[in-house]
Chain A
Amino acid sequence: MSDRVIAPFEGFGLGLRPPHYAEFLERDVPVDFVEVISENFMVRGGRPLHILDAVRERHPVAMHGVSMSIGSADGVKPDYLRRLKTLVDRVDPLWVSDHLCWTGLEGFNSHDLLPLPYTEEAMDVVCANIARVQEVLERPILLENPSSYLTFADDEMSEHAFMARMCEATGCSLLLDINNIYVSGTNHGFDPAAYIAGVPVERVRQIHLAGHSQGKDLLIDTHDQPVPDPVWALYETACRRFGPVATMIERDDDIPPLSEMLAELDIARARASRMERAA
């Protein structure tokens, strides 16, 4: 396991998305950090890396991936890790995160975040995979709680209990997605506030806020809406428990102008500071 620790960092950021590239290059956007999707920049050259280098000159960057597949029973792919490490060396990010899920197996990649059973065996697999990743990247990683749409008959523990033990065993930290807690809580009938109360305070290094949609039977994590009221309320609960944590808003579809995203980020700032004053 890596001995390195993640340096303290707080603040409010946004995901770097193509419709906002030009503005990020032209002016000093008032964010404390930006988050990039790692895979979009795991390329050999051209405009993506040119943009990333320019943005990196102005802002601290957090790297967020979607393809690590930390829960695959057949392990993490070495070629993926090599390419990720190349990008890590180039960016020198605040931290590197991915999702507590699996995306593929035995030569198949779904390109989706598939759910894991929370069992002792899955714990062993996930912890071994995290150890391997942290060895290659030479740093601890952050893992994010996904939105999920089904559970498993053999589940032996809650998601937050699984994450707490996983952090303890591997030294990794957490990216807590408040919207995902709300979506999964609604879909599976657990209390989001109780979930937050079970998350180890010292492990939470970043928070995601986002919107979702009502599907036929389930809430779906669509990232195409503003942050809705119940997610804001849960964010306040999180702020009370975790104190100041780097927070950002994720928007991946129907992306509004940057000014709207910044206004939404101001709401997060206001809510967080109100909770801090109340604490």
Chain B
Amino acid sequence: MSLLAIQRGLRDHILAGGGDRPAGVAPSGEAGLAVYRRAYRAQLVACLRDTFEHTWSWLGDDGFDAAALSHIAARPPGGWTLDAYSEDFSQTLAGLYPDDPEVAELAWLDWSLRRAFDGPDADPITTEALARVDWESAALTLSPTLTIGAVATNSAAIWGALAEGQAPPAVERLPAPAAIRVWRQGLSPQYRTIDAFEQLALAMALDGCGFARLCEQLAGPDDAERVIARMGGLLGAWLHDGLICGVRA
């Protein structure tokens, strides 16, 4: 029997979580098959618990493990890293908890902070470097670890309380659309809740939009002044947070 056939048989058996002894496995292998079937799932659940630590504490062991097992069944891992696998977990949770949007938002936050933790290094620029910039033609290069996710609930406050080991607040729907930005400053992953204006400005900057055009597009017919003032404030905050890693002419 070919190696390929043996490996396909064992793979399918592990994925199915039971069934007949795959062809090629010695008759004494029944107990061993159970070990491999269990280890496959236990290892992935442990890995998801590790990555989604605060989603786990929010849902509790039973709720989290049920969601993890349903993710494992629906989407067996493919790559050698579990990155793509983990990334999709918040979608699984969104499907399992359609009426509790904070669950998928917590998972998104757990995952994004983990990804920022070991994402690419980049040096932020200083205030002095900004002084010489020609804003008419300049575009900002933002931190390569920056990601932005829309939120409908106070999931950031819940996550923060869980991270501090405190009792989390009750879930609340936010009065207006908002988002969370996640990035790494030095070696420390960070997150901050932002409003729709900042979310749009960051999305446009990430898209490569130049600063002058960005201000123009964000301004309505008669609030150019206000938008420029607002952008000045945001620039200061982004600089302070180490979000700006370069200015392209």
Contacts and interface: CB of A to CB of B under 8 A. Distances in A.
Given A50-B187, A112-B43, A117 B120 contact: no
Given A42-B81, A122-B3, A150 B28 contact: yes
Interface string B19-52: 0000011111101110110011001100100000
A43 B76 contact: no
Select the residue from A44, A46, A73, A149 with max chain B CB neighbours within 10 A: A46
B127 to A, nearest CB: 24
A151 B7 contact: no
Interface string B45-68: 001000000000000000000000
Contacts of B79: 109
Given A46-B121, A50-B187, A153-B25, A110 B3 contact: no
A108 B15 contact: yes
B11 interface: yes
Interface string A19-59: 00000000000000000000100111111111000000000
A218 B32 contact: yes
B226 interface: no
Contacts of A48: 118
B4 interface: yes
A109 B24 contact: no
B166 interface: no
Interface residues of A, number: 51
A105 B5 CA distance: 11
A107 interface: yes
Main SS of the interface on chain A? loop
Given A50-B187, A154-B24, A67 B80 contact: yes
A102 interface: yes
A217 B187 contact: no
A114 interface: yes
Contacts of A43: 118-119
Interface residues of B, number: 42
Contact of A148 (B11, B32, B43): B32
A111 B26 contact: no
Contacts of B10: 114
A39 B24 contact: no
B129 interface: no
Contacts of B118: 43-49
B67 to A, nearest CB: 18
B7 A102 contact: yes
B78 interface: yes
A45 B25 contact: no
Contacts, number: 125
A152 B10 CA distance: 11
B248 interface: no
Given A149-B32, A150-B28, A105 B7 contact: yes
A220 B118 CA distance: 32
A149 B120 CA distance: 40
A126 to B, nearest CB: 9
Interface string B196-207: 000000000000
A219 B3 CA distance: 26
Contacts of A151: 25-26, 28-29
A117 B28 contact: no
Q: Give me the 8 closest cross-chain CB pairs, A-B, nearest first.
A: A150-B32, A149-B32, A150-B29, A45-B121, A43-B118, A217-B31, A73-B4, A67-B80
23 contacts: A39-B80, A39-B81, A42-B81, A43-B118, A44-B120, A45-B118, A45-B121, A46-B118, A50-B187, A69-B80, A73-B3, A104-B11, A105-B4, A110-B77, A111-B43, A114-B10, A117-B6, A149-B32, A150-B36, A152-B29, A154-B1, A218-B35, A220-B35
Given A39-B80, A112-B43, 6 more contacts: A46-B119, A49-B121, A69-B80, A103-B80, A110-B40, A149-B35
